[in-house]
Structures are given as structure tokens and as C-alpha cells.
Amino acid sequence: MKKNILICGYPNTVLRIFIETIKDDYTVYFLSYSRKGQYTEIKKNLGDKIFLIDTESGTTLKKMYNFLRFFCLAFRIASDKRTRSFVAYHNHFIKNGLLMVLIKICFPHITRIHFPYDIHVYQFPKELKYHYDIEKEKLRIKVKLHCWLSLFFDKICFENAHKIITKGFENELDYLKTVYKIQGKTHFVFNYLIEKKDLVEKKINNLKGDITHLVFIGGMSNAPSGDNNYKVFAELLKEKNIVLHVYSHSSEVLQPLTYHKNLQIHKYITNHKELINDISQYDFGISLSIPPHHDYLQAKMASGVKIYDYLTAGLPIIIDTEHVEMANIITTNNFGVVIPLNKIGNIKTYINKCDYELLLMSVKKNREKFIIENQKANVIRFLQQEP
């Protein structure tokens, strides 16, 4: 008989792949905090074992009702003798943190796993020094309080979990060990985010002297305290022979640049297979951003899922040198071009120097090591391992 695994979090691509990887070996129950992202695709896999818990919208009374409903559902599933593991997924730290502690107290036999989407630059209590550049004082205080609570419960999740899963790199927990009590915890890197069924083989073409079509997919930010896509894209579009295609649910960040004829904003495609097929027509996928000036680690340890989507589409990648760990993967596997941030305005020069045909062949060959189907046994072994 299959064991149960309870997952609570946001339904994005990483979680969908994780669920598809383990569903043959576990009965998966998922408490989703949103109907957005990959909710529909995950629902196709789980059917009546997915529950939508919206604690963000509606009246205060409705939020409180859904908050209570969330814990009641979680406890009902956890009380089943077949439930052996709990995964706190994504960055909804307040709900996940509370549930992590309650499961530890009420169901100590259940293996607790923390699976954050991002490893945060700011760890509690350093967050006390951090604030958004918001003019309205009341709103600034509210945002700062929420950040403080989120990072506090992030600490709770890390320190009360038996195991930790991340989507980045082997060494990304090293700098957290000086802040959180996580020494000795089992760590698994879930960065096998390419699905064999979606693979596209890119056609070879010669780029030199021609207009180059770049594509960016995913979320964007214009926050003074975080990544600033507007600035970096404005610099990129100074190059006349570049056309930038953007697929994003937050493309309003680029509103001041919409006059630019070399910027083409497309409707964001939620179906993963359709998105991959659509972006495969371009020449390079890009992952460029201006990191926060106050902490280098955010860029250094960044591991965007878009990188694996580009590889799935057969696209070579352009990434900046600030993304140290991901740039290392790009260089080691000859997946693309690594460029200094201050040279973005001359990006065509770097493109013309590369052997595009060789890059395409390297992408096709070396992306195999990141295919999730090849790593399924390792994922299941990690989950079944006693803490």
C-alpha cells in the first residue's frame, strides 16, 4: 500500500514536476494556496486530492475561515496512519511554519521536509534592518512586518524540518549554517527540471551579422530593493540588432519601454508544452538582472527555472557574471554565453564571437543530465530515507 505525502504550498512548475516524479510511489495530497500558476495542471494529476485554500483574498472573516479550514484539512490528512511525510513548499512561510511546528508536536512520526522556492538573502533576524522603499509610512510598516514574520517562520521551517530540498546548488545552504541551526540535516538538490516529453530540438542557423532574437520568460521586478528588469532591458535594447521577446505575467514593469520597436511583449502562456514550443523559435534565452546593491548573495545563488525551460526548448542561454553559480553551470556545459553586466549594451559583440552551431549541439547533449526522468530513483530514495 502506498504511503501518503502531504504537500502545502504554491502550485508552480517546480512543484508540478516534483509531484509528477513521486506520484507513482506516493499518494500525494496537496493543499494549494492559489489557483494560479500550474494549479490546473496539478489538478489533472491529483484529482480530488488537491484542495484550494485561499487565505489572501476576501473579507477578514473569510480569510480566518479559510485559515482554520487549512489547518483542519492538514490535520485530517496527517492523522491518517499512511501519512509518512510532510513537505512545506515555496515561500508561504507563516502558514508552513505554523504547520511545521504543529506537526512536530502532534505527529512526531511524520518526516518533515522544508522545500523553499528561494534561499532568501535576508535571514532572520537580519530582516529587521531591511525595508522596502515605500513612500507611505503605514504601508511600509505593514510590508516590513510581513517580511519580518515571513523570515521568522522561514527560520522555523529550516530548524524544525528533518530534511531540506532546494532547487539550486549543493553549496547553497553553507552560508545559512552560520545563521540557522541546520547542521547535519539531509539536503537534496532538486534541479532536474527538464521533462523528456517537452524536449524540442532547435534548428541550426547562422547568427553572425543578422538580427538576433532573444527571449525572456518568467516573473519580473522593478523593486528598488531587488532585481530591476526595467533597467537591464533598457540597456539591452540599446543594441540595434537585438529583438527582445518577453513572456511574463508581470510585463507591466516594462511599460516605459513599450515604445521601443525592438521590444515585443507576448501573452504569457501557462501551458508548459505550448510555452516551450513557442519560445523555441528564438535564438537565445536570457537571464539577466541587476542584483540588489546591498547583498551579493541573491544574484550569486539565483537558480531560476527559466534556465531549464530554455534548455528544454533547445535554446542556448545568455546570463550575466553576477549569477555566479548558474553561470558556472552554463560555462561547464557550454550551454551559452556569460557576459558582464556592464557589457549588456554590447551584447551583439559577444553573440557574434560564439560558435552557435556548437552551442546548439552542446545544449542537446548536456541537457540530458538535468532530465527529471533520469533522477526519479534518487528522489524517491531521498524521501524514503530515515531522517
Q: What is the span of the domain harbouring residue 204?
A: 196-370
Same domain, 117 and 10: yes
CA angle 123, 128, 130 (to 5 degrees): 85
CATH number assigned to the domain comprising residue 289: 3.40.50.2000
User: What is the model's pLDDT at position 76?
Assistant: 96
Query: Do 122 and 239 reside in the same domain of the chain?
Result: no
Q: What is the dihedral of CA 32, 217, 311, 382, to 10 degrees?
A: -20
The answer to whether residues 178 and 206 belong to one domain is no
Residues 142 and 103 in one domain: yes
pLDDT at 138: 52
The rounded distance, in Å, linking the Cα atoms of 116 and 111 is 16
> Please, where are the H alpha helices in 189-271?
229-236
pLDDT of amino acid 128: 47
- Burial (CB count <10 Å: 0-12, 13-18, 19+), residue 267: exposed
Chunked into runs of 10 residues, the chain (387 residues) has average pLDDT values of 94 92 96 86 92 82 88 95 95 86 96 88 51 49 72 90 91 79 92 90 66 89 58 84 90 78 89 91 87 56 86 95 88 95 88 92 93 92 92
pLDDT of the residue at 130: 46
SS3 337: strand
Question: Strand pairing partners for 317?
Answer: 285, 336
**Given this model, what pLDDT does residue 180 score?**
85
**What is the structure's pLDDT at 131?**
43
Are 167 and 211 part of one and the same domain?
no
Same domain for 250 and 292? Answer: yes
Length of the chain: 387
Is 140 exposed, middle or buried (CB count within 10 Å of its CB: 0-12, 13-18, 19+)?
Answer: middle
Predicted local confidence at residue 252, as pLDDT: 78
Contacts 24+ apart (CB under 8 A), 122-128: 122/147, 122/151, 122/295, 123/151, 123/154, 123/155, 123/176, 123/179, 123/180, 124/148, 124/151, 124/152, 124/154, 124/155, 124/179, 125/152, 126/179, 127/151, 127/152
Same domain, residue pair 311 and 329 = yes
| Residue 78 cell numbers, joined | 496527517
Number of domains in the chain: 2
pLDDT for residue 59:
86
- Quick one: 226 and 266 in the same domain? yes
Can you give the pLDDT at residue 204? 65
pLDDT of residue 54: 81
Same domain, 168 and 228: no
Whether residue 378 sits in one domain with residue 363: no
181 & 257 share domain: no
Say if residue 296 is in the same domain as residue 376.
no
> What is the reported pTM?
0.87
DSSP helix/strand/coil, 211: coil
